[in-house]
């Protein structure tokens, strides 16, 4: 069936397509209204070296030169960042901050890349949380941000690093106020609307088929040509015998 034939059927069966279209609109808005809301909050930290560098001078008379921590980045900070991200991404850590595996909260801790398995060599730690409420998302990001700083200090204490060489995690983007993520709700509404639209088309064509079959039954079955021919031959034969 071509396009114009389809349009003709839709207009001819307007008493089916119009209610179906209105139900489609209502269903789309209904799905959008009842779809669960998701709020997202983020924060970012950067690892920096102390102004005297990451080593202790062997001779106190010749201390290490003082440098700007924001321009002193090396591969060691990237490795420390990767270790810290792996430690924070454990299920136990997620459960401790309120984001257990399989729950309604999604927690992602990366170095800024979209694929955690291919983490770029950067000293950044980016925390992203999606939760059903704005307060929950913001609270979890705040907890993880503080936990990252605490975990970094604990690991340096564990390896007996000199306190003057401790790497620090500086918050460059504080936990943001959670914003609603409307993309998922909109996708759900679009899918529901598309399904309802196709169902309205199906209803229109089913009505067209039903009306056609009903009209055919009312008009009565047509006599097949072969039956008519046989009846005519039989009449002629009977008339010949009588003659």
Residues 51 and 111 in one domain: yes
The pLDDT mean for the chain works out to 78
Residue 177 belongs to a domain: yes
**Does a structural domain hold residue 82?**
yes
In terms of domains, do 73 and 90 share one?
yes
Domain count for the chain: 2
**Statement to judge: residues 56 and 175 lie in one domain:** yes
89 in the same domain as 4 = no
Name the token pair of 239. Answer: 């008339």
Q: Do residues 22 and 63 share a domain? A: no
Average pLDDT estimate for 33-38: 74
* Domain extent at residue 99: 37-181
Q: Is the model's pLDDT at 32 over the cut of 70?
A: no
Average pLDDT over residues 231-239: 50
The more confident residue out of 207 and 148 is 148
Residues 58 and 171 in one domain: yes
H/E stretch holding 153 reads helix 134-158
What CATH number has the domain bearing residue 53? 3.30.70
- pLDDT tens for 52-99 read 777 777 767 777 777 777 676 677 888 889 889 999 999 999 999 999
Same domain, 170 and 92: yes
* Least reliable range by pLDDT among 47-51, 138-142, 143-147, 199-203: 199-203
How far apart (Å, rounded) are the C-alpha atoms in residues 66 and 53?
A: 7
- Confidence label for 184 from pLDDT (cuts 50, 70 and 90): low
Do 144 and 172 lie in a common domain? yes
8 and 125 fall within a common domain: no
Answer yes or no: do 20 and 74 share one domain.
Answer: no
Residue 220 is predicted with a pLDDT of 58
Domain assignment present for residue 168? The answer is yes
Domain membership of residue 223 (yes or no) is no
Task: Give dist(CA 94, CA 125) in Å, integer.
Answer: 16
Query: Do 11 and 128 belong to one domain?
Result: no
Answer whether residue 125 is part of any domain.
Answer: yes
Q: Among 128, 153, 181, identify where a domain stops.
A: 181
| Position 120 pLDDT exceeds 90 | no
Name the residue with higher pLDDT: 99 or 19: 99
Average pLDDT over residues 156-167: 90
User: Is residue 232 predicted with pLDDT exceeding 60?
Assistant: no
Residues 12 and 45 in one domain: no
Centre a 10 Å sphere on the Cβ of residue 152 and count the other Cβ atoms it contains. 23
Residue 144, in any domain of the structure: yes
16 domain-assigned: yes
CA distance 43 to 124: 11
Which of 166, 181, 196 represents a domain boundary (last residue)? 181
Check: CB of residue 66 under 8 Å from CB of residue 190.
no
Q: Which of 108-122, 140-154, 171-185 has the lowest mean pLDDT?
A: 108-122
Residue where one domain finishes, among candidates 181, 196, 227: 181
């Amino acid at each position: 069936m071509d396009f114009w034939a389809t349009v003709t059927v839709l207009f001819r069966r307007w008493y089916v397509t119009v209610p179906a279209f209105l139900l489609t609109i209502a269903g789309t808005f209904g799905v959008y209204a009842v779809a669960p809301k998701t709020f997202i909050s983020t924060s970012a930290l950067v690892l920096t070296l102390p102004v005297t560098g990451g080593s202790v001078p062997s001779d106190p008379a010749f201390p290490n030169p003082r440098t700007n921590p924001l321009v002193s980045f090396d591969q060691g900070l990237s490795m420390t960042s990767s270790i810290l991200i792996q430690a924070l991404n454990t299920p136990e850590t997620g459960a401790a901050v309120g984001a257990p595996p399989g729950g309604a909260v999604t927690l992602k801790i990366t170095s800024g890349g979209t694929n955690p398995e291919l983490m770029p060599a950067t000293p950044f730690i980016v925390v992203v949380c999606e939760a059903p409420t704005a307060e929950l998302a913001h609270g979890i990001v705040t907890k993880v941000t503080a936990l990252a700083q605490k975990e970094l200090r604990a690991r340096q204490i564990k390896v007996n690093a000199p306190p003057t060489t401790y790497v620090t995690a500086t918050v460059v983007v504080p936990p943001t106020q959670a914003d609603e993520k409307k993309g998922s709700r909109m996708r759900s509404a679009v899918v529901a609307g598309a399904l309802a639209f196709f169902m309205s088309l199906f209803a229109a064509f089913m009505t067209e088929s039903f009306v056609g079959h009903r009209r055919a039954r009312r008009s009565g079955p047509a006599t097949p040509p072969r039956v008519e021919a046989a009846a005519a031959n039989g009449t002629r034969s009977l008339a010949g015998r009588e003659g």
